Structure 1
Amino acid sequence: MTRLRPPTGHPPPNAFRWIGALLAWVLVALGLGARPALATSPLPPPVQQALAAAGIPWESVAVFVQPVTGAGPLLIWNADAPMNPASTMKLVTTLVALELLGPAYTWKTEVYVGGPVTQGVLDGPLAIKGYGDPKLTLERLWLLLREVRARGVRVIRGDLMLDRTHFALPAGDPGAFDGEPYRPYNVEPDALLLNFNAVRVSFVPEPAQGRVRVYAEPHPEGLEIDNRLKLGPGPCRHWEPRFHAAIASDWTRARIVFEGRYPEDCGERAESFSVLAHPKLFGDVFRQLWAELGGQLAGGVREGPVPEGAQLLAVSDSPPLAEIVRDINKFSNNVMARQLLLTLGAHGFGAPATPETAARAIKAWLFQNRLEFPELVVENGAGLSRVERISARHLGELLLRAWNSPVMPEFVASLPLAGVDGTLKKHMRSNAFSGQAHLKTGYLEGVRAIAGYVRDRDGRRHVVVCFVNHPNAGRARPVMEALIEWVYEGGEHCCAQPRAAGTSARVLE
């Protein structure tokens, strides 16, 4: 009897897999082999169930989990796919900044006099040069101008000059991302950013008078507020303030109309709006503060570099980078992250910084640290983007790198603590892992993301990254929480359980 053989003279391909599986089983049974690779395990059953309930297919999810001291991943799923990370992109920007600039780095805002000062009168312009300070607030500008007054300037006979040349940015449309140009999260970066380019409007019910008092801080000359709110009974959850902003095409004037019923149960509330261009807001606020300090500005407000020969008079230093990074990550501040990214561009390639040099600075740091992220796309470093991309594996590797970095304490402490503070203060409070996970969240329409560090019941810490890119991503919070709970409860034990029927260890097609 003739035996049939494959034309190549080799065993059938399936024989290799069968023999290999048999040898691996024998070695494990004898205690001589390694455990099956956890990286090929399917998604944990609780995560599968949460995905099914949310109507999110497996191929729209990417997961990376690895102990910070482990030799390899505990769980990976679709981890090499380029995904939109939403605000978890801020982790890339802030870690690179902490390492390149150092946690004590500060930004300067400088004041120059462009002429002689005689008996309190400056015969020339006063110039203010910005270097991209992400946190030049109203209070800090007041302190800086108070210093200028203390140094003998009372009357400015020339113009106020605003030097914004440290950044070179193309004309941008703040409403291009989602059609909401007046929301603070859409503020464009600027070398002379003041108060996040926003005004804070407060609503104060006055039941005795039957009205709601509305006021803005700051209240620039170019802003008009029309208060038509009516105070009335009812639960606060029914209050949805309606506002309309009529803004000139050059953003030099704005009018906000508030109307509707304000429930008394709401108490005092506040909303922030960005309705004026950067130089307009800065100029108007300067005039107000300068007048309050007893000063006079005879000239106008114009943009341009510090005049040649001008003398430095006063300097304001920002809070240190470690504090700035905390604000960025704890509260997911987009404009501060964008300011920081451009600062990296100026640091690495000189001023003026551009979005292109900023992205190059990130990639240069990765190259110097032997991190190859070919899929990485950096647009603004804040995650407020439809084009930014990174894989779950590479963001996980970045977090592992951060754990062994000299700036690890500052970096990890900047992440929201689950159920305790930041963007997670009102979330995950009732979960078993509340207070045990430092996690950055991300949310865009069609995108949900979470990344950071989870401490399990035995005190071991793990890097956890999870991306969901799907139209139903808004329903994915239970998916994220199921994954974190699985890690917290000692997720490696899950991987030894039999696979759920119909599941596969590969991405479903």
Structure 2
Amino acid sequence: MCVIRKCAVSFSLMLASLSAYAELPASVADALKKVGIPQQSVAIYVQAVEGSNPILEHNSDKSLNPASVMKLVTTNAALELLSPTYRWKTEVYRDGEVVIDKLNNGNLQGNLIIKGYGDPNFRAQELWRLLMSLQQAGIKGIDGDLVVDKSYFAKNVGNGKSFDNESWRAYNAEPSAFLVNGRNTSFKLSTTGTGVNINQEFALPEVQIINNMKLNQGVCGAWRNRFSYTVSPDNNGATVTFNGTFSPDCGERYLELSLFDDERYAFYTFKKLWRELGGKFNGSLKIQEIPSTAIKVVEQVSDPLGYVVRDINKWSNNLMARQLLLTIAAEISGPPATEAQGGMVIKNWLATKGLKFDELVIENGSGLSRIERISAGHLGQMLVSTYHGAVMPEMMASMPILSKDGTVMGRLKDSRPNGRAHLKTGSIDGVSAIAGYLLDANNHRHVLVMMVNHTKAAESKNAQDALIEWVHQQP
């Protein structure tokens, strides 16, 4: 016979166990069983946003790898801490005098300096606009060098290693305080009647293409598996050699590579755009902080954060998410920013909301990580809290709409939940996850989280879809 206190503890533990291993909906359990994924490798949390308790929990307190679903934590923190109206700035300085020549063109007798503040969406067109403003300010020629100040982020940001063996793929690019175009070289593959065309979307002269591709008249299918590429870097740029086949059935397809580090890509892009604008420059690149003698010439600001988070979440942009984590660190803890600072800021932010996530591990904020962790229950609780907060409209609008856009485009297209859910997906080898908001058939909104950590996780899509449909059918 046990004493009352011991019995109460035992009963509480029994209830916790029942909650952690709640019976899954039959459709979800059957879909998992069919592909050989054990239920202990799955975590689920479902709660009505107006409810106080979950309607379904399964392993909800288990610490799991969320893959790109971690971006929900990073973007949510950024929206609340920085506000949806936050804008990044990029500054240009001159270190020298501007002399007017006989043609009334200003010639900078010294160095041009660009200071970046981590804008994750600073594309080539933004740099073009900045350089146009610089020329309108009276500078057409530069006698000195281009100096880039990247001191807003710490020198050791990123771990210097690719996530996988695809070291040239754009998703493995590392963050930078001055990041141009995500340092992304996009190759467009298409066909003519006689062969395969390969072109750069934004053509840098430092990139050379050797095209050994052949036409394949079959269906498109797994087009990426039918060719290979080899990158040969040198002091003057890089040569990319393509071998394999490509089918006309594919239409246009794109391969995104990161051929240069952030500094070289920015330098090559600067030279290309500056000369196309009619400017003169024959200098080299230097990386250093702004000297005290420099004079500010122009400043450009980005789109507001409320817009930028849509690119991050709808299309699961890893590099932009990493830039955002470092921006959080710099703005809240002060520069130079590190990922560790960003992770600590987010944990402190969650604590102020009464959300203590002891299991939370943030390596880079993007989910492209083997060590990032969160539980389904805590992620679900954060999303419920967010729904009742000031940034809910921006947060929800940043997430893919089921079957309509982003990473869930075309998914469950003929189902009743079509267009009634905002859901972020995540997947890396051994991990598949989905989380977000779903409106049921009676117009009650629910938070839904499902994470799978298993060697067959990629085969869990049907089980995720079954859960979405189950939630939609709730009375």
Q: Which residue of 2 aligns with 1:153?
A: 139
Q: Secondary structure at the match of 1:475?
A: helix
Give the C-alpha shift of residue 312 in structure 1. Answer: 1.1
Q: Which residue of 2 aligns with 1:374?
A: 358
Distance of 1:277 and 1:221 partners within structure 2: 16
Q: More deviation in 228-237 or 273-282? A: 228-237
The yes-or-no answer on 1:116 pairing with 2:97 is yes
The yes-or-no answer on 1:75 pairing with 2:56 is yes
Distance of 1:112 and 1:306 partners within structure 2: 8
The yes-or-no answer on 1:243 pairing with 2:228 is yes
- Going from structure 1 to structure 2, the CA distance change for 1:13 and 1:408 (only over 3 Å counts) comes to closer
Q: Secondary structure at the match of 2:415?
A: coil
TM-score (normalizing by structure 1): 0.86
**Structure of larger gyration radius:** 1
Distance of 2:301 and 2:33 partners within structure 1: 51
Distance of 1:353 and 1:347 partners within structure 2: 8
Give the C-alpha shift of residue 417 in structure 1. Answer: 0.7
Give the C-alpha shift of residue 223 in structure 1. Answer: 2.0
Q: Which residue of 2 aligns with 1:404?
A: 388
Distance of 1:373 and 1:79 partners within structure 2: 13
Q: Is the Cα contact below 8 Å between 2:208 and 2:239 reproduced in 1?
A: yes
The yes-or-no answer on 1:42 pairing with 2:23 is yes
Letter paired with 1:245: T
Q: Is the Cα contact below 8 Å between 1:375 and 1:391 reproduced in 2?
A: yes
Residue 306 of structure 1 is aligned with which of 286, 290, 313?
Answer: 290
Q: Is the Cα contact below 8 Å between 1:416 and 1:438 reproduced in 2?
A: yes
Q: Is the Cα contact below 8 Å between 1:222 and 1:254 reproduced in 2?
A: yes
The yes-or-no answer on 1:419 pairing with 2:403 is yes
Give the C-alpha shift of residue 262 in structure 1. Answer: 2.7
Q: Counterparts in 2 of 1:344-363, with a 5 A limit? A: 344-363=328-347
Q: Is the Cα contact below 8 Å between 1:61 and 1:77 reproduced in 2?
A: yes
Distance of 1:204 and 1:53 partners within structure 2: 38
1:449-487 deviation per Cα after TM superposition (whole angstroms, max 9, x unaligned): 111111110000111111111111111001111111111
Distance of 1:245 and 1:278 partners within structure 2: 20
Q: Which residue of 2 aligns with 1:285?
A: 269
The yes-or-no answer on 1:182 pairing with 2:163 is no
Give the C-alpha shift of residue 420 in structure 1. Answer: 0.5
The yes-or-no answer on 1:163 pairing with 2:132 is no
Paired-residue identity, %: 43
1:91-132 deviation per Cα after TM superposition (whole angstroms, max 9, x unaligned): 100011000100010001111111111111001000011000
Give the C-alpha shift of residue 216 in structure 1. Answer: 1.2
Q: Is the Cα contact below 8 Å between 2:228 and 2:244 reproduced in 1?
A: no
Distance of 2:297 and 2:228 partners within structure 1: 42
Distance of 1:96 and 1:427 partners within structure 2: 28
Give the C-alpha shift of residue 173 in structure 1. Answer: 6.0
Q: More deviation in 50-59 or 217-226? A: 217-226
1:266-324 deviation per Cα after TM superposition (whole angstroms, max 9, x unaligned): 33332211111111111111111111111111321111111222111111211110111
Q: Counterparts in 2 of 1:21-100, with a 5 A limit? A: 41-100=22-81
Give the C-alpha shift of residue 244 in structure 1. Answer: 2.5
Distance of 1:327 and 1:172 partners within structure 2: 21
Q: Which residue of 2 aligns with 1:107?
A: 88
Q: Which residue of 1 aligns with 2:121?
A: 135
Q: Which residue of 1 aligns with 2:179?
A: 193
Q: Secondary structure at the match of 1:125?
A: strand
Give the C-alpha shift of residue 396 in structure 1. Answer: 0.5
Q: Secondary structure at the match of 2:125?
A: helix
Q: Is the Cα contact below 8 Å between 1:51 and 1:58 reproduced in 2?
A: yes
Q: More deviation in 216-225 or 289-298? A: 216-225
Q: Which residue of 2 aligns with 1:3?
A: none
Letter paired with 2:62: A
Q: Which residue of 2 aligns with 1:315?
A: 299
Residue 458 of structure 1 is aligned with which of 417, 442, 462?
Answer: 442
Q: Is the Cα contact below 8 Å between 1:359 and 1:379 reproduced in 2?
A: yes
Distance of 1:173 and 1:72 partners within structure 2: 40
Q: Is the Cα contact below 8 Å between 1:233 and 1:265 reproduced in 2?
A: yes
Distance of 2:356 and 2:471 partners within structure 1: 27
- Give the ranges of 4+ consecutive aligned residues of structure 1 lying more than 6 Å apart after TM superposition: 37-40
1:179-216 deviation per Cα after TM superposition (whole angstroms, max 9, x unaligned): 11111111111100110110111224232xx2333221
TM-score (normalizing by structure 2): 0.92
**Residue ranges of structure 1 left out of the alignment (5+ in a row):** 1-5, 22-36, 493-509
Q: Is the Cα contact below 8 Å between 1:252 and 1:280 reproduced in 2?
A: no
Distance of 2:314 and 2:48 partners within structure 1: 23
Give the C-alpha shift of residue 161 in structure 1. Answer: 0.5
Q: Which residue of 1 aligns with 2:471?
A: 487
Q: More deviation in 38-47 or 137-146? A: 38-47
Q: Which residue of 2 aligns with 1:324?
A: 308
Distance of 1:114 and 1:269 partners within structure 2: 44
Give the C-alpha shift of residue 430 in structure 1. Answer: 2.1
Residue 126 of structure 1 is aligned with which of 112, 123, 134?
Answer: 112
The alignment yields a C-alpha RMSD, in angstroms, of: 2.4
Q: Is the Cα contact below 8 Å between 2:432 and 2:460 reproduced in 1?
A: yes
Distance of 2:353 and 2:7 partners within structure 1: 41
Q: Counterparts in 2 of 1:375-394, with a 5 A limit? A: 375-394=359-378
